[in-house]
Structure 1
């Protein structure tokens, strides 16, 4: 890896690059070629030439079979050097360009005959045919199964990311005198743990632990059981990398995952970062509030917790009044995720893992040696679950990750994985939670609207029947168009509060409406009209009746968890499904 750093800019000996920089020694250079002032491809080819020569010397030491495998790594390193100022494209095409009449064949000749003699670098270039011969051998090299192919992909992305980070840090230091002192690691996890354990929710769980009962009669007891059961199961499998946490909506998975992630970080001191990844910005916002409740009083701890998405400023709220803010340093930290604890979205994570743009790979290396909590895994397309679990297994193995996968409707992904290691199921007693009377009987489900031709007018009639009982009512539509049409239909209804939330609402507007619902007194009706933005990441506890446009089972299950969330047995929730917009 060090060789990539050493060689990545050696191509700046290119006289045309020096001329472009304004170096007076090369201003009169008459050199002309198709490479132009490009220094990256010159560096890449010189790297190839140097290390393929070394490889022939190493054959006695490494053996013939290992030698052929090293050819692939040498070409991968060369490819990374060639692309370190541009996006990743195709490694296969890069290698094939060294075949007969390929672009890189011509470039080798121009380097050998023009660039090196005109530069001040004393270097004896090998014959071109040596590189061409090794390039053609790559396709014939065999690897053992899909895991080794994934290892190659992870390797080249990791080295590419490290090279980009090193290059950016060095350039920023030289040009702007801004020095990156650290890359954001958790060296004080015990302080976070101690602060978390002071919370009332943690204290109540430990109190319950001392007097556990077989008969679970309250929702908080069930949440405590999930917390304790998963903690015990994790202790048995601390050496494993992937964990499944499947439990019904409303059973405290977020708090449980926070405890589990701290346990993993304490157990393995090589783990230095923590990522919480969610499908929606609403979930990110909700969990940011949870973090603030736990750590907001400790400025030195909360300062290291950052939200990374399209809606958050580079500045944390408590930084806005500070003076002497270095915005270049803030930008570098955001681009390269120099944060000990990061809250972000699936879009951000999967762009880091698979995006081909240079910016996508900036922070890939930061994932190494970290704990990642992946929430709401069911929001991915069913057709790519095999690829998801296979890649997550490989990333966990080769980057030293611990990944906790959470969902209320988690598929049995073990059967889909193409890797040898199977994830650990943290909830062994599945029926203890999914068949618990508290959850089974918190709502009655009504399907009678599915048997009728649905219209907004019919829905309004049914909704008003529930509102007249002074209930808090939630109605969810699939499309914004239908939600707004229903909102317009309710315009003349003045007896109870009626509000609407869609994906177009700002965070502030959404918070204002939800606070209004939360603070609405018992005995007063309230109608909230929403799109699917309400399904996850919105903490609503007092909905007593819900109407939903039926869609996929996972979505319907999430919605049911919004009704009578606190499991009030004196007032059972009512859930109505209808079919309006075809999905």
Structure 2
């Protein structure tokens, strides 16, 4: 078969596919990867498959990588050969480890090796193919030598980043061309500082206010000394969000950055952030998280679902608002679907809001990675928090944090010693403290560490506090009910909470803009306590409010290192004085994180795995850190009949092709995502309810859930059942 007749996809010539991919990036290693990645499609097996003459084809990535190594072994370094061959070998699968590639070449593994030899012989037999790719004869000894070379290579963080970038560029450009038959060109960033200034004028912002001056100070400091990694440390309510936005726009304009990526900890606060930014810029803001829905039509009314979905998931739009989960999986995951985003970090401004929410197991790793990431990718990282952990070293601070913290004195932390030692009695004693605070007509926030204790405390309080004043917030509540609760707490004109009581878990700590009169917080890591305190007297209109800290109610849920540092820095100080004021917090927090910097380690040995190019081990560690392999919870769908969805799916199976069917299943899954809760297995068992199981979606579900769910407190644990029937059920 002539080269001009060989197809890469139905109706698409291979040489055209490769040419459009090569045009995506001028890097020589990328161009080599692009040229060889689909070479294996030149075999008869694949050409019969792509023309619908057979139902399947032999894999093509392995022989493509093999051919690349044989054709380039004498022209590139061992590191370059390893990186390109792994990108080619893995462009439809997760990244391989260095050890796996070395074994593949030096051990000559089984049936795969025999297949590759046969495929390579077929490639050599086609004169046009042999000439276009300049293929030499098979040389087993050369491949074995390369395997041994790969096994002995010493790799570092910079190599890790280069490998991820090469792989990401290849899989992104390959799939984009497959969908569109075009070379991707990034759209221009149209958001500007001028848009932000117009927004401030419309909203009547005082340009002489404390917040405005702080924002100008931050931007001026960066202009005077532009760095690739910077921090903004400022107390809650100091206007960090708009200040970071102004900084990001300024950096983008001055340095010609093509994209702004704004990352926040939780999916639950993405929509409100996107709403604010969209008001400032009249659209042009793209949200990306696991629950995002994709439109069917593009701006011109064309049915273009695949392209729209792909552009969002690959962060190809110029302004992305996303989660820490998405960002860190782009950085560390070995999987194809996560890595398409990595290349979009290039030439961007990446803002990480609420940096204290980065899992502490990654702090030591990021200390080694932020600077090389910024340098290699041409990216500026802006790290922002009221309680800044040491996740990057020797990084300039743009805010005048000492002045900012001294200027705020909205609350005082105090220790209350619950006299009771029994857990039940301690809970009763806490309830009396909250009732006393609420009895004076004040709004109260009480944050405890577990859902169980939050619900038990709520149950005790509802006997003494009017139902219209008492609210709950926890992760056993569906997103719609959490949002209803937050809306009901706020006054019509502000985020101030008046005369209401909220019993919450940690879900209230980041991104929830509420303003209470008084707070209670179960002992937790210092950064969590300060985040709770940021919801007390937030606007500073009440003089000085109290945030009362009490000892833990039950078992420990936090890491022992975090709790030990908290006890040594906060607990002892609170027990020895009348209280710690907000203006004293900065010194306390910095001492706390300095101690943790000495005691915490790279627990999952990610840096060692990086040196070994052990991508599967890195991905496994990440899934543990984000608790994706948690054996203690089940995902449960409430209020949706998955049996009916399964029936519709199998009906579609009769008429849809493989890709259409996959898309239909994805749309079904997206439709019931807002109805999913992650519930502890023990609570499911104790509920006594027999849940159905969908094998198609791999989830438990229940169409009717009256009696086991309340819109006020969420999924009912054992202690609530039978009592919560008084509530209006969702």
Paired residue for 1:555, among 514, 517, 528? 528
Task: Write out aligned runs for 1:406-445 (5 A).
Answer: 406-414=384-392, 417=393, 422-427=394-399, 429-436=400-407, 439-440=408-409, 442-445=410-413
Gaps of 5+ in 2: 1-29, 557-730
TM-score if structure 2 supplies the norm length? 0.65
Q: Is the 8 A contact 1:564 1:573 kept in 2?
A: yes
Q: Is the 8 A contact 2:414 2:549 kept in 1?
A: yes
Report how far residue 508 of structure 1 moved.
3.5
Give, in whole Å, the separation in 1 of the partners of 2:161 and 2:398.
27
Report how far residue 401 of structure 1 moved.
0.5
- Structure 2 SS opposite 1:435: helix
Report how far residue 569 of structure 1 moved.
4.4
Q: Is the 8 A contact 2:353 2:384 kept in 1?
A: yes
Q: Is the 8 A contact 1:274 1:342 kept in 2?
A: yes
Task: Write out aligned runs for 1:383-402 (5 A).
Answer: 383-402=361-380
- Structure 1 SS opposite 2:383: strand
CA distance 1:396–1:14, shift in 2 (3 Å): same
Please tell me whether residue 128 in structure 1 is matched to residue 157 in structure 2: no
Aligned to 1:51: 72
CA distance 1:89–1:198, shift in 2 (3 Å): same
Q: Is the 8 A contact 1:286 1:539 kept in 2?
A: no
Report how far residue 72 of structure 1 moved.
1.8
Q: Is the 8 A contact 1:449 1:576 kept in 2?
A: no
Aligned to 2:464: 493
Task: Write out aligned runs for 1:505-544 (5 A).
Answer: 505-519=477-491, 525-541=499-515, 543-544=516-517
Give, in whole Å, the separation in 1 of the partners of 2:500 and 2:479.
21
Give, in whole Å, the separation in 2 of the partners of 1:314 and 1:204.
35
Report how far residue 412 of structure 1 moved.
3.9
Report how far residue 254 of structure 1 moved.
0.9
348-357 or 2-11: which moved more? 2-11
Please tell me whether residue 279 in structure 1 is matched to residue 257 in structure 2: no
333-342 or 223-232: which moved more? 223-232
Paired residue for 1:3, among 21, 32, 35? 32
Please tell me whether residue 308 in structure 1 is matched to residue 288 in structure 2: yes
Paired residue for 1:370, among 348, 353, 356? 348
**Alpha-carbon displacement from aligned partner over 1:136-181 (angstroms, at most 9, x marks no partner):** 23455567xxxxx22222222212122212221222236xxxx676
Give, in whole Å, the separation in 1 of the partners of 2:507 and 2:203.
33
Aligned to 1:59: none
CA distance 1:173–1:276, shift in 2 (3 Å): closer
Task: Write out aligned runs for 1:146-165 (5 A).
Answer: 149-165=156-172
- Structure 2 SS opposite 1:581: coil
- Structure 1 SS opposite 2:481: helix
Aligned to 2:415: 447
**Alpha-carbon displacement from aligned partner over 1:429-471 (angstroms, at most 9, x marks no partner):** 43212233xx23x223331234543623222211121112111
Report how far residue 369 of structure 1 moved.
0.5
Aligned to 1:74: 81
- Structure 1 SS opposite 2:530: helix
CA distance 1:569–1:382, shift in 2 (3 Å): same
Please tell me whether residue 504 in structure 1 is matched to residue 476 in structure 2: yes
Q: Is the 8 A contact 1:75 1:95 kept in 2?
A: no
Please tell me whether residue 17 in structure 1 is matched to residue 46 in structure 2: yes
Aligned to 2:316: 338
Report how far residue 389 of structure 1 moved.
2.2
**Alpha-carbon displacement from aligned partner over 1:250-308 (angstroms, at most 9, x marks no partner):** 21111110111111111101x1000111111233233223213312xx3xxx1x21111
544-553 or 502-511: which moved more? 502-511
**Alpha-carbon displacement from aligned partner over 1:408-434 (angstroms, at most 9, x marks no partner):** 1113445xx4xxxx321113x432122
Report how far residue 519 of structure 1 moved.
1.6
Give, in whole Å, the separation in 2 of the partners of 1:101 and 1:291.
55
Q: Is the 8 A contact 1:520 1:526 kept in 2?
A: no
Gaps of 5+ in 1: 28-34, 56-66, 144-148, 209-219
Q: CA RMSD in A?
A: 3.0
Report how far residue 387 of structure 1 moved.
0.8
Report how far residue 110 of structure 1 moved.
3.6
464-473 or 499-508: which moved more? 499-508
Q: Is the 8 A contact 1:277 1:345 kept in 2?
A: yes
**Alpha-carbon displacement from aligned partner over 1:56-84 (angstroms, at most 9, x marks no partner):** xxxxxxxxxxx6xx232123212211111
Aligned to 2:635: none
Please tell me whether residue 575 in structure 1 is matched to residue 562 in structure 2: no
Q: Is the 8 A contact 2:448 2:504 kept in 1?
A: yes
Give, in whole Å, the separation in 1 of the partners of 2:365 and 2:497.
50
Aligned to 1:457: 428
Q: Is the 8 A contact 1:15 1:119 kept in 2?
A: no
Q: Is the 8 A contact 1:108 1:128 kept in 2?
A: no
Aligned to 1:207: 207
Task: Write out aligned runs for 1:322-333 (5 A).
Answer: 323-333=301-311
Aligned to 2:702: none
Q: Is the 8 A contact 2:420 2:426 kept in 1?
A: no
Q: Is the 8 A contact 1:197 1:203 kept in 2?
A: no
Q: Is the 8 A contact 2:286 2:312 kept in 1?
A: no
Q: Is the 8 A contact 1:158 1:365 kept in 2?
A: yes
- Structure 2 SS opposite 1:99: helix
Give, in whole Å, the separation in 2 of the partners of 1:349 and 1:407.
17
- Structure 2 SS opposite 1:425: coil
CA distance 1:410–1:451, shift in 2 (3 Å): farther
Q: Is the 8 A contact 1:13 1:119 kept in 2?
A: no
CA distance 1:37–1:412, shift in 2 (3 Å): closer
Report how far residue 378 of structure 1 moved.
1.5
Aligned to 1:467: 438
